Amino acid sequence: MNTMHNKARELLETIRAEQCQRNERMLAVLGDLLDAVNEVDMAARNAPNPWTAVRRRHETGRAVLATIETNGGLSGLVAEHEALAAFHGDNYLPLLDRFYRSHRALLLRLAGVLVLEPASTDRRQL
């Protein structure tokens, strides 16, 4: 069992190493978004006539949408984020399935044979 958990942890580290490039790409997209919003903000501040709040929001929205489209579109960026977020943190448990699969029948037979009892003598929790 410990070997399977160690293999899943190792697989998670391998996936993280492969995702390094993807992380850098997403950070670059975030940087592009911040640059676009900053450009709109600078244009609003340097305009000869003050911009209304509505115009500022409109121009900011246009800049953000244009940047998103330039970087692969909304659906592509959402998919990229989900792929990165799937292995965020130290949660290697979703990866265990592939290592337990070959031992599943044995584990189910073992569960049927063993008499399972609570570790505590406190019967109120049963």
Assess if residue 122 is contained within a domain: no
Rounded Cα distance between 45 and 35, Å, is 15
Express as a percent the part of the chain with pLDDT over 90.
44
Domain for residue 121, yes or no?
no
Flag whether 123 is in a domain: no
Is residue 77 within 8 A of residue 29, CB to CB? The reply is: yes
The answer to whether residue 62 is domain-embedded is yes
Place of tokens 């919003």: 37
Q: In terms of residue numbers, what domain contains 82?
A: 2-116
How many structural domains is the chain composed of?
1
In a domain? residue 44: yes
Residue 84 belongs to a domain: yes
126 inside domain: no
Q: Are 92 and 12 in contact (CB under 8 A)?
A: yes
**Top-confidence residue, 32 or 124:** 32
Q: What is the pLDDT of residues 34-90, one digit of tens each?
A: 999 999 999 999 999 999 999 999 999 999 999 999 999 999 999 989 888 877 777
Q: What is the pLDDT of residue 14?
A: 84
CA atoms within 13 A on the CB side of 46: 6
| Confidence check: pLDDT of 126 > 60 | no
pLDDT for 124 equals: 72
Most confident of 6-15, 76-85, 99-108: 76-85
Q: What are phi and psi of 47, to 5 degrees?
A: -70, 145
Rounded to the nearest angstrom, the gap between the alpha carbon of residue 19 and the centroid of all alpha carbons in its chain is 11
Cα separation, 79 vs 82, whole angstroms? 5
> Which secondary-structure segment (H or E) carries 77?
helix 73-85
Report the distance separating Cα 101 and Cα 16, nearest Å. Answer: 23
